[in-house]
Chains A and B, each alone.
Chain A
Amino acid sequence: MSLEQLGKYVEDGDDKESKALAERLLTDGTDPLTILNTLTEAMGRVGERFAKLDIFLPEVMLAGEALTAVVELVRPRLPKTDTWTSKGKVVLGVVRGDLHEIGKNIVKLMLETNGFEVKDLGYDVDSLDFIKEAEAMGADFIGASSLMTTTMPRQKEIIEFLKEKGLRDKYKVVIGGAPASKEWADMIGADLYCENANSAPGLMTGLLVE
């Protein structure tokens, strides 16, 4: 019953009630892994409702934030032997010279709500820092966003640096942002272009399966 209620709170984007209830469940001895699985189910429902347009982006964002709040609370309580494996690990940021991060933040939540683990590097991120952080995290993906045409070359630079360091095959490079395109992704040798945040989780999951 309570687990069901937690799922409902998260689905409704109520981060306060979600955290409070998760705290109570943990105190009562509920298995952290069970809690995380409940969250995954709840987010699945959120995704389905968004796909049908029963709900819109603000509702998805709020649910995502509630989810993140509970995951942060629960993950440290996972027993060492139990691992909650994410779908994939992503370092995500806005390239150097660009301060526009709203789109990137939406992508982050979309990925997290779909079971990816995301390290958010923020904005104005140096190309080398993308690589350093990816190495540190053991990431599967490097996600680089650019909203400005003048900063798009930094997406290319990340790929060039990866090649220079002999790390190109270690990461899937995903690019996005209004001026980016499939054509641009092909030109610079990125693994994937995502037109919008909604499409990112599905397309990136597809890359992992390959």
Chain B
Amino acid sequence: MDSGFNSQCGPAYRLLTRDQINTIHYATLELLETVGVRIDHPDAVEMMRSAGCRVKGDDLIQIPNWLVEECIRSAPSRITIYNRFGREAMHLEGRKTHFGMGTDLIKTYDLVTGKLRQSKLEDVANAAKIADYCEDIDFIASYALPHDTPVNLMYIDSFKTELENSVKPLFFTAAGPEDLAVIHEMAGTVTGGTDNLRQRPFLIHYAEPLSPLMHSSGAIKKLFFCADNGIPVTYTPGMMSGASAPVTLAGAITVGNAEALSGVVLHQLRSKGAPIISGFGMSTMDMKTSACIYGCPEYRLALSACADLYHYYRIPMWGTAGASDSQCLDQQAGMEWAMSLLTDGLTGANLVHDIGYLGQGLIGHPAALVICDEIISYVKRVVRGFDIDPEHIAMDTIRRVGPKGQFLSTAHTLKFFRQEHWQAKLTNRYLIDSWIDKGSKSWGQLATQKAIEILSNHRPEPLSDEVQDSLSAIRAKAERDLAEKHFEA
């Protein structure tokens, strides 16, 4: 974390030396110039050709080094994201880290029955409401993928529901440029026009290239829509090392970086200076079960390297943490959430998504968000470090108290205990008898209870009736327009 004061110490972790960053950067440039990427979009191919790329066949694009480096420079080094009211909420820059949810979990634990079932729109609303309440969750996303709305409106309905249940910045996916345009219109309604939205964006779109080394037509259309409209966009591959990327971490990092940087080139050529968040994620394929593993240590290492690279590039960087492969709220989930959230905090990833994920990116649980909020709070405390100026060394107080005294009743303790010691919100700190009196509850049970409380008591800031009516009208029109739509890959 940036302290701004010399007397503040704070932990920061760097994996790569400057020479190692250069080695990976050169390998990435070599890959882009000699192998290239497939681009399944004729206009984009033409754009790349006229910018100086070599085109092999119809769609293999080899990008010269200078062009990649020019586009790295033209991508903004900082992006400010606002909340629904237009107030500054996140500064994606330097080593500042912000945490929030991911999208599209197909199954959710039902808080009433405790059972795992297909996700519903109500789960999107619940997740947004819980995240709106939790002060350490910085941005929201759909979390669940609703199965009880028309397929072509899944992302539109999710977006609308999130607007209705939280004021926080909103990270979102879309099926194609068509529903993305509808979502953009909805967001503009909230900010009083899309011009205001461009100046004070409260949303970040997420689209992705396909590993290895391919940009699909659908992905490029979404990327271009964001570039044209100044919508901040995360355009980052999700690799599976050993399957869609090399099994060696250095190889996968090179491939992922080439996919991400070729995305930066496409985006910056389309609209120089438009806001983009880059980077890559790398899960592993489990060679026994063929499952896609999020909670592995290799993901942490690849992401640490990614953070070092994108700090060097001065491009806001995407992180992933708080994602577990466990299917339920258990010790494995706690381990994988905590280890990953702490590592991302220490590497200084800027936009860390996927908190509260279970089951390899397929399962959500409202209580998982409450638990991750608590872990993030812990991580933020660690990353903040501590002050070592004279007042904090407290020589005067120590002198006054002297040997065999006590510090509890000093003014110094009163002044500093709230900042210096982390204030747990949910973590069990009872003495044994109190814990038994209160029902001997595990952390998972406490979090579930807290989630239920939040959902029955928290009232998010509502939208105005006028905005609410406009959103419903846009939704109704989209239902007609997109009824027979087949989204492109």
| Residues of A participating in the B interface, judged by any CB pair closer than 8 Å | 53, 56-58, 96-100, 102-103, 106, 124, 149-151, 153, 178-179, 181, 183, 196-198
A172 to B285, CA, bound (A): 29
Say yes or no: B290 contacts A97, CB within 8 Å. Answer: no
| Residues of B participating in the A interface, judged by any CB pair closer than 8 Å | 104, 106-107, 118, 145, 151, 154, 175, 210, 214, 216, 218, 240, 242-244, 285, 287-292, 360-362, 486-489
Quick one: which of A56, A124, A198 contacts B489, CB cutoff 8 A? A124
| A149 partner residues in chain B, CB cutoff 8 A | 104, 106, 145, 154
| B486 partner residues in chain A, CB cutoff 8 A | 96-97
Q: Which A-chain residue is minimally distant from B244 (CB atoms)?
A: A102
| B291 partner residues in chain A, CB cutoff 8 A | 196
Q: Which A-chain residue is minimally distant from B285 (CB atoms)?
A: A57
Say yes or no: B210 contacts A100, CB within 8 Å. Answer: yes
Q: Which B-chain residue is minimally distant from A110 (CB atoms)?
A: B290
Say yes or no: A197 contacts B489, CB within 8 Å. Answer: no
Q: Which B-chain residue is minimally distant from A96 (CB atoms)?
A: B486
| Given the contacts A153-B151, A183-B118, A99 and B216 also touching, CB distance less than 8 Å | yes
Quick one: which of A57, A150, A179 contacts B288, CB cutoff 8 A? A57
CB distance from A184 to the nearest CB of B (A): 8
A114 to B322, CA, bound (A): 39
| Given the contacts A99-B210, A149-B104, A198 and B290 also touching, CB distance less than 8 Å | yes
Say yes or no: B362 contacts A56, CB within 8 Å. Answer: no
Q: Which A-chain residue is minimally distant from B118 (CB atoms)?
A: A183
| B104 partner residues in chain A, CB cutoff 8 A | 149
A96 to B290, CA, bound (A): 23
CB distance from A82 to the nearest CB of B (A): 35
A196 to B291, CA, bound (A): 8
Q: A-B pairs with CB below 8 Å: how many?
A: 55
| A100 partner residues in chain B, CB cutoff 8 A | 210
CB distance from A201 to the nearest CB of B (A): 14
Say yes or no: B489 contacts A97, CB within 8 Å. Answer: yes
Top 6 A-B pairs ranked by shortest CB distance? Answer: A56-B287, A57-B287, A150-B175, A97-B489, A99-B489, A179-B106
| Given the contacts A97-B487, A98-B489, A53 and B288 also touching, CB distance less than 8 Å | yes
Quick one: which of B210, B290, B488 contacts A106, CB cutoff 8 A? B290
Say yes or no: A97 contacts B289, CB within 8 Å. Answer: no
| A181 partner residues in chain B, CB cutoff 8 A | 106-107, 118
19 more A-B contacts (CB under 8 A) besides A97-B489, A196-B289? A53-B288, A57-B290, A97-B218, A97-B486, A97-B487, A97-B488, A98-B489, A99-B214, A99-B489, A102-B243, A102-B244, A103-B290, A124-B489, A149-B145, A178-B360, A181-B118, A197-B290, A198-B289, A198-B290
A207 to B151, CA, bound (A): 30
The secondary structure that dominates the A interface is: loop
| B240 partner residues in chain A, CB cutoff 8 A | 102
Q: Which A-chain residue is minimally distant from B488 (CB atoms)?
A: A97
| A106 partner residues in chain B, CB cutoff 8 A | 290
A183 to B489, CA, bound (A): 25
Say yes or no: B290 contacts A196, CB within 8 Å. Answer: yes
| B216 partner residues in chain A, CB cutoff 8 A | 99
Most B C-beta atoms less than 10 A away, residue of A98, A99, A196: A99
Q: Which A-chain residue is minimally distant from B176 (CB atoms)?
A: A150
| A102 partner residues in chain B, CB cutoff 8 A | 240, 243-244
CB distance from B39 to the nearest CB of A (A): 13
| B154 partner residues in chain A, CB cutoff 8 A | 149-150
| B361 partner residues in chain A, CB cutoff 8 A | 178
Q: Which A-chain residue is minimally distant from B240 (CB atoms)?
A: A102
CB distance from B138 to the nearest CB of A (A): 26
Q: Which B-chain residue is minimally distant from A197 (CB atoms)?
A: B290
| B214 partner residues in chain A, CB cutoff 8 A | 99
- Can you name 12 A-B residue pairings with CB atoms under 8 Å? A53-B288, A57-B285, A57-B287, A57-B288, A99-B210, A100-B210, A102-B240, A102-B244, A124-B489, A183-B118, A196-B290, A197-B290
| A99 partner residues in chain B, CB cutoff 8 A | 210, 214, 216, 489
A96 to B488, CA, bound (A): 8
Most B C-beta atoms less than 10 A away, residue of A56, A97, A150, A151: A150
A45 to B140, CA, bound (A): 50
| B287 partner residues in chain A, CB cutoff 8 A | 56-58
Quick one: which of A150, A153, A179, A196 contacts B362, CB cutoff 8 A? A179
Q: Which B-chain residue is minimally distant from A180 (CB atoms)?
A: B106
Say yes or no: B488 contacts A178, CB within 8 Å. Answer: no
Q: Which B-chain residue is minimally distant from A100 (CB atoms)?
A: B210
| A153 partner residues in chain B, CB cutoff 8 A | 151
A98 to B298, CA, bound (A): 27
A53 to B195, CA, bound (A): 59
A179 to B144, CA, bound (A): 12
Q: Which B-chain residue is minimally distant from A153 (CB atoms)?
A: B151
A103 to B242, CA, bound (A): 12
Say yes or no: B362 contacts A178, CB within 8 Å. Answer: yes
A150 to B173, CA, bound (A): 11
| B118 partner residues in chain A, CB cutoff 8 A | 181, 183
Q: Which B-chain residue is minimally distant from A196 (CB atoms)?
A: B290
| A96 partner residues in chain B, CB cutoff 8 A | 486, 489
Say yes or no: B487 contacts A150, CB within 8 Å. Answer: yes
Q: Which B-chain residue is minimally distant from A107 (CB atoms)?
A: B290
Most A C-beta atoms less than 10 A away, residue of B106, B242, B291, B292: B106
A53 to B289, CA, bound (A): 10
CB distance from A202 to the nearest CB of B (A): 15
| B488 partner residues in chain A, CB cutoff 8 A | 97
Q: Which A-chain residue is minimally distant from B103 (CB atoms)?
A: A149
CB distance from B291 to the nearest CB of A (A): 7
Say yes or no: B289 contacts A178, CB within 8 Å. Answer: no
CB distance from A29 to the nearest CB of B (A): 40
Say yes or no: B151 contacts A150, CB within 8 Å. Answer: yes
Q: Which B-chain residue is minimally distant from A95 (CB atoms)?
A: B489
A96 to B175, CA, bound (A): 14
CB distance from A180 to the nearest CB of B (A): 9
CB distance from A177 to the nearest CB of B (A): 11
A150 to B153, CA, bound (A): 10
CB distance from A63 to the nearest CB of B (A): 14
